[in-house]
Chains A and B, each alone.
Chain A
Amino acid sequence: MQKKLVVLFVFVLLAFVALSWRLVHISQDNGESYKKRVLSQQVQDSRVLPFKRGEILDRKGSKLAYSEKVYNLVVDSKMLLADDGNHVEPTFDAIHKCFPEVNTDEIRSFAEASPSSRYRVFAKNLTWDEMDAFEKLRKKSVSSGNASKKSVSSGSASSKKTIQGVWFEDAYLRRYPFGTLGCNLLGFVNGENLGNYGLEGYYNTTLDGVNGRQYGYLNEDSIAESTMKIAEDGDTLITTIDTNIQTIVEKHIKRFMDEHKNAYREGAACENIGVIVMNPKNGEIYAMATYPVFDPNDPLNEDVLSEVDVSKFLPKAYQEGGVSGNAVSGNQAYDEAWQKAKSDALGSVWRNFCISDSYEPGSVMKPFTVAGALDSGKITGEETYNCGGYLEVGDYQIHCHNRLGDGLLTVKQGVAKSCNVVLMNIAFAMGKEEWLRYNRIFNFGLKTNIDLYGESNAGSLTFDESMGTTDLAVASFGQGFNVTMIQMATGFSALVNGGYYYQPRVVSEIKNADGAVVEEKHARLVKQVISEATSAKMRDYLKAVVMSDPSECTGWSARPAGYSEGGKTGTAEMYPRDGINYLISFMGYVPADDPEVLCYVVIDRPNTALQGESTRLATVLNKEIMTEVLPYLNIFMTEELTDEEREELSKQESMFASGISENSAGEGEAGEEAPAEDGDEDAIVIEEEPPRTDSGGNIIGENEILYDPETGYPLDPATGEVLDPETLQPVNPSSDLPEVKLFGEFPEGENP
């Protein structure tokens, strides 16, 4: 028996050895692959906790953009089909009840096709109320299920029909409560929390937070730890935008666009329009608007394209023959081109004209030339120049808009009357180097670094040392090189605020999600561009542009009643220099002696018969905006009101009070004001161009001779054509400007 006991023990020993060998074998042969299996099983626990994107507030704290918590419905097939599918019916019933829009047949076929799937989103952006209703049903079903199985001690029977296999994951939806308001400033967010354009694009990383995660992980010792890393919400932007001013600006732009639609030719009121309202003393942007506007809540909505000429974006081959959208539809190549054109057109809507597009500024540039000459001591301001209507430069005769010539003009009068000859003389006095130096001091060709997405610098379209005499001549009055609106408005602010060049900015403060200030963005003084004394002189000159007698200045129609305004008009001829296409603009600031608010209006190719004579559209738009913005900013009237102005203002007020401010009646009032004001014979009467009828003559008063505001030439009462003051023959509307060869980009021009 002893022997047999030992035999038994040896057998046991052998068995143990065999099992140990087996253990080593498993560990050695499959250790690595099993380790990976274990790791891959763990990963299923991981779950993203989304962050909340920061808000965008206006200067008064109104929310321009915020993220709303929503819920996605996720189906877990494995849970849903567990316990022989007992849970399917009650779960589907609950889904039907709470989310009628969700198709349960789809869920069923998905669950049956992939029964081991743990994650599939079936409904997005559900509100808390919808989610909560479902969760309540679920709790009810689970608690009644638990009650019935409590008697059985362990998990053998979860056969009770409960709601399961559906859960909700958090998500955030970007909302813009004001809809289209300030869309170009704000930009938008695509599905993946990616900001596009505007503030959303520029401050994308600031607004973004960091996703949290709930997960089990293995640390360096392959030890499992389960953690929840809370999401870090994004920072909030407090901007300098004023919702009310933005509303005023957009309202007037809209009215302008509606009124001038199809005015002269079929199509929009202008090719592009941009308005910037800012504080010239510190670079804060109050408002910035273009047209058309899109809704950042739904940026891909193609309804907005009704405002855009999509065919413009078609390749040349399709544009010829005036093919309209549906004419050749069916042709696949054409359809593709059309789709591409549509997306390009949408891109053009999202683009912020005020910072992304460049143009030749025209006469608004003149104060920069004068300021440079004064500041460098090349002129004193006491000089007088004789304007004979044109100046011979090289082989060209570069005309003043008033071909008759204005005679002897001081510098101030030259600015007020926007005389090209005076400006050319001043530029020649400065010389090429000095003019270029000041051009650079004012940052032309460089970005202003405004905190908005997509600023361009137009750097390749500015002059360099290779500029010739003719270039200098036209550059003095803002032709031959390109600028952006924000460059102009920022530079102009420095001209009139004492010479201080402030970086323009939209964000004043960044706060974190808890409300603590992360960063304060103070006014950033970049440099002093001109002296205080020069700036004072400039204010004096620019005041003369608006506040002089209408016969002595070009910008009188921009003045809001009761205020003193300084500013400068601009009528820039566009390429090709055929005298048809113009970009008109007005830069104005109030009060004239101590600027508090600056408004820059640019209208690209207005829909009028004679675009070159339509500068009034810009000045009037400026006046309308200023008339509403100034009282809002608590800037008091300093000038006496005439009876007409008083009447007009009270009408306007009652109009705003009754909430029909968008009624075109206001414009009618403004239009009538012009003839009323020009009581004396010499006054230049500027009639709005074009008249509402096709024939320009209809609106011109019988005995009055109308003069073109920029050139000062008389207009033909019958046709509205500009007449040569000497011969009284219609002037060929082709350009006054020489075709300057610009960077070899444009063909050699013909003689003027």
Chain B
Amino acid sequence: MTEKRNYMDYSLIFVVIFLLAFGLIMVYSASSYEASIKFNDSTYYLRSQLRATILGVVVMIVMAVIDYHLLSKISFLFYLGSLGLIALVMTPLGIERNGARRWLNLGMSLQPSEVAKVALIIFLAVLIVKHQNTVNTFWGMVKMMAVAAVPAGMVLVITRNMSSAIILMGIAFLMLFVAAKRYTPYVVVAVLGVAGAALVVYYVWHLSPAEAAEHFRLARVRAWLEPEEYSSVTSYQTLQALYSIGSGGVFGKGLGQSTQKLGFVPEAQNDMIFSIICEELGLFGAMALIFMFLILIWRFLVVASNAPDLFGSLLVIGVMAHISLQVILNIAVVTNTIPNTGITLPFISYGGSSVVFLLMEIGMVLGVSRRIRFD
């Protein structure tokens, strides 16, 4: 019985639509004050985000319709192209915002690190399918990680964007972890990583404030440890986010009623949007949002385990790894669980490139899900 039916994961579509709509509302709520002051137009950020979302939905539909196996044919080109885009940031096409050079001006602004994430997912999936056996060896893992390390290194060095580099490495790590049969090397790497991080924290903790201040990443770690001490400079954003969360209470102040977005939480529509959600909608709203992400990831799990082939499954695992990592790291930053680093909340935070390429990933997942066979 090989009756082929068109399967559509409506739960996944519903969750994505919900997150997009919710994201637009929260971007408007968080940004309207700043937009009306800066641009004299409270809908400035909303309209920009809406355009990107519409474009993203189109891309998503296209990706869902085409056969995802086509992706394997262009994966290497795509991967190289994303590296090229990162390199382009150094040229005059690069745009500097808030003191960081991370964007490209290609008619519309584009963040190459977002492209790199999608490209890496596809390319790694192709590689793993090709070298299924070597993945289980230690050296195989190292080689695969090296594929991720190239864009990650470029992102770190050229755009000085450590968070995206971590995400890239994380995606590769998780994809390999799922693909491989062994646990030991991954557990060892994870333990080493945690130990290394602990060492850094220990080192910073015993630095004098002056020494710590010399390096901005060390300073951030320091500020994470003692947010109240650095409230005027480094940890200002984090502390204000904490104030937002704390002042929201259980049910929040009501949609649109945040006071912290009135200039206290800088660029509230970006990385720190989760704190505004906590303030306006309270713990209840925050939990509901986390639950929506959990459903999304659960749907990824379902699609990945039922995928018609390993390639499709790996693609979904990559997307799952990407979105899980970003959600966890973003909320961890906002709650000051880890040191501050600029990670956006998928679908919710303001950012055109991010939403377009996230929807592209969702499109891939939907493409995979459409080909699920029911026996």
Contacts and interface: CB of A to CB of B under 8 A. Distances in A.
A429 interface: no
Nearest to A34: B246
Contacts, number: 125
A35 B313 CA distance: 46
Given A20-B287, A223-B253, A5 B304 contact: yes
A650 interface: no
A34 B97 contact: no
Interface string B94-111: 011111000000000000
Main secondary structure of the interface of A (DSSP, over half): helix
A222 B324 contact: no
A79 to B, nearest CB: 13
B247 A23 contact: no
Interface string A154-167: 11100000000000
Contacts of B301: 5-6, 9
Size class of the B contact interface (CB-based, 8 Å): 35 or more
A124 to B, nearest CB: 30
A218 B335 contact: no
Contacts of B246: 26-27, 30-35, 37-38
A548 interface: no
Contact of A37 (B97, B243, B262, B287): B243
12 contacts: A6-B301, A12-B297, A16-B293, A19-B332, A27-B283, A38-B247, A152-B96, A153-B95, A154-B38, A155-B38, A156-B98, A222-B257
A240 to B, nearest CB: 53
B83 interface: no
Interface in B239-259: 242-250, 253-254, 257-259
Interface string B324-368: 100110011001010000000000000000000000000000000
B328 A12 contact: yes
A284 B179 CA distance: 104
Contacts of B180: 4
B19 to A, nearest CB: 15
Contacts of B98: 154, 156
B286 interface: yes
Contacts of A19: 290, 328, 331-332, 335, 337
Given A5-B301, A31-B247, A34-B243, A224 B258 contact: yes
* Most-contacted residue by chain A among B99, B278, B324 (CB, 10 A): B324
Contacts of A2: 305
A518 interface: no
Interface of A: 1-2, 4-6, 8-9, 12-13, 15-16, 18-20, 22-24, 26-27, 30-35, 37-38, 41-42, 116, 152-156, 216, 218, 221-224
A116 B236 CA distance: 14
B54 interface: no
A35 B97 CA distance: 32
Interface string B166-177: 000000001001
A38 B243 CA distance: 6
Contact of B294 (A16, A18, A156, A216): A16
A484 to B, nearest CB: 59
A35 B177 CA distance: 43
B320 interface: yes
A358 to B, nearest CB: 61
A2 B250 CA distance: 38
A30 B242 contact: yes
A22 B286 CA distance: 12
Contact of A154 (B97, B242, B317): B97
Nearest to A30: B246
Contact of B248 (A12, A27, A32, A42): A27
A22 B337 CA distance: 8
Given A16-B327, A38-B243, 6 more contacts: A5-B317, A19-B332, A27-B249, A38-B246, A156-B96, A221-B253
B275 to A, nearest CB: 10
A33 B325 CA distance: 31
Nearest to B313: A1
Contact of B250 (A12, A27, A42, A154): A27
B96 A9 contact: no
A41 B254 CA distance: 19
Contacts of A155: 38
Contacts of A24: 283
B262 A216 contact: yes
B177 A8 contact: yes
Contacts of A153: 95, 97
* Most-contacted residue by chain B among A1, A13, A32, A221 (CB, 10 A): A1
Contact of B242 (A5, A12, A16, A34): A34
Contacts of A18: 337
A76 to B, nearest CB: 15
A95 B232 CA distance: 29
B179 A218 contact: no
Contacts of B328: 12, 15-16, 19
B259 A216 contact: yes
A224 B263 CA distance: 13
Contacts of A16: 290, 293-294, 327-328
B53 interface: no
A173 to B, nearest CB: 34
B109 to A, nearest CB: 9
B259 A38 contact: yes
B321 to A, nearest CB: 8
A41 B264 contact: yes
Contact of A223 (B99, B248, B257, B304): B257
Contacts of B317: 5, 8
